[in-house]
Amino acid sequence: MAVNLATVPGLRTSAEMPDNPNPPIATMSLDTVDYNQAMNQGLTLFNFTVIVIVGRAAEKRAQRKLDAYCSQDGELSIKLAVESDKSLGGNAFDVRVVGMNNIGSLSLNDQEYLAAEFSVTVYA
């Protein structure tokens, strides 16, 4: 998924939440795994949260940037980027951004950032 997100111009990616993020950055975390979704263990669902941090909450341009990432289309669209290679390099049957659950400020190390959380389901 990080490879897909890296196609967004100027967006950094990280497998873990950095202590001092350098926005814009996208991080991924695995939330749940649902096994045995098809016969003979033929399908497993992996549910991820992708957090996109765009800048300090006080920055005026941060909201405009976040709006572009939340769009369903355009070169900065997180949805389009995540779904650009639905097989995730041959590791999945499908990947879908199923929603954006949260948008607002995120506190890290006494700094407030503007961020959005996207729910992603991987079918593998």
**CA gap 115, 117 in Å, rounded:** 7
pLDDT tens-digit map of 104-123: 888 888 888 899 999 999 99
Q: How many domains does the chain have?
A: 1
pLDDT tens-place values along the chain, 124 residues long: 899 999 999 999 998 888 888 899 999 999 999 998 777 778 999 999 999 999 876 677 888 889 999 999 999 999 999 999 999 999 999 999 999 988 888 888 888 889 999 999 999 9
Domain containing residue 81: 2-123
pLDDT tens-digit map of 44-53: 999 999 999 9
Q: What's the CATH code of the domain at 11?
A: 3.30.70
Report the pLDDT value the prediction gives residue 117, as an integer from 0 to 100.
96
Residue 71 DSSP one-character state: S
Report the pLDDT value the prediction gives residue 5, as an integer from 0 to 100.
94
CB 98 within 8 A of CB 82: no
Cα within 13 Å of Cα(92), Cβ side: 20
CB 19 within 8 A of CB 74: no
